């Protein structure tokens, strides 16, 4: 006679194994644990909790990332208040992580957000979003308006967005 095993859902499996649901799903996709689909949901046998892959992943599980305060935010003046230099916001967006513009191609020419969006297939919102994400470089002028560096037009992922 066949041995009947009890099946549990991925969320129940995750709470019993001390793994996240996404980690359990990853183990299923990689074939490290076996499960069956019932009504469109993965069901896993309880005996899969004893597998080496599950035990190792639970043992090596990294703690949830805590909110780490930067040294800059911890520094205050003697009165407990931040100094003017500490509260001043940086006005230059970070360099793009995708493609760096060589120093020799950096130009002094800049465009407003509207001008840059008119030159590309990006909207004004898209240009601002890319500035925030660091995909393009720019700076704020003294009035607070963003100016986008012309050197961004030479970056590969921007070149393909240029209007003819």
Q: Using a cut of 0.75, tell me whether the model's pTM lies above it.
A: no
State pLDDT tens for residues 29-45. 888 888 888 888 889 98
**β-sheet bridge partners, residue 8:** 44
Helix axes 10-17, 21-30, angle to 10 degrees: 110
Which domains does the chain carry?
7-59 (1.10.10), 91-159 (no CATH)
pLDDT band per the 50, 70, 90 thresholds, residue 115: very high
**Phi-psi region for residue 144, left (φ > 0), alpha (ψ -120 to 50) or beta?**
left
User: Does the pLDDT of residue 107 top 70, yes or no?
Assistant: no
Report the alpha-carbon distance of residue 67 to residue 70 in Å, rounded.
9
Q: Are 17 and 54 in contact (CB under 8 A)?
A: yes
């Amino acid at each position: 006679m066949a041995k009947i095993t009890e099946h549990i859902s991925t969320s129940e499996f995750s709470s019993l194994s001390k793994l996240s649901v996404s980690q359990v799903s990853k183990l299923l996709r990689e074939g490290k644990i076996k499960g069956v689909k019932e009504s469109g949901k993965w069901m896993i046998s309880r005996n899969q909790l004893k597998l080496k892959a599950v035990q190792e992943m639970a043992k090596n599980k990294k703690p949830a990332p805590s909110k780490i305060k930067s040294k800059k935010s911890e520094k205050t003046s003697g009165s407990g208040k931040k100094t003017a230099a500490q509260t001043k916001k940086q006005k230059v967006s970070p360099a793009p992580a995708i493609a760096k513009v060589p120093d020799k191609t950096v130009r002094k020419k800049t465009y407003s957000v509207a001008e840059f969006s008119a030159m590309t297939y990006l909207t004004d919102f898209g240009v601002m979003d890319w500035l925030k994400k660091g995909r393009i470089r720019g700076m704020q002028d003294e009035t607070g308006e963003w100016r986008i560096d012309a050197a961004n037009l030479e970056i590969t992922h921007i070149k393909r967005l240029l209007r003819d």
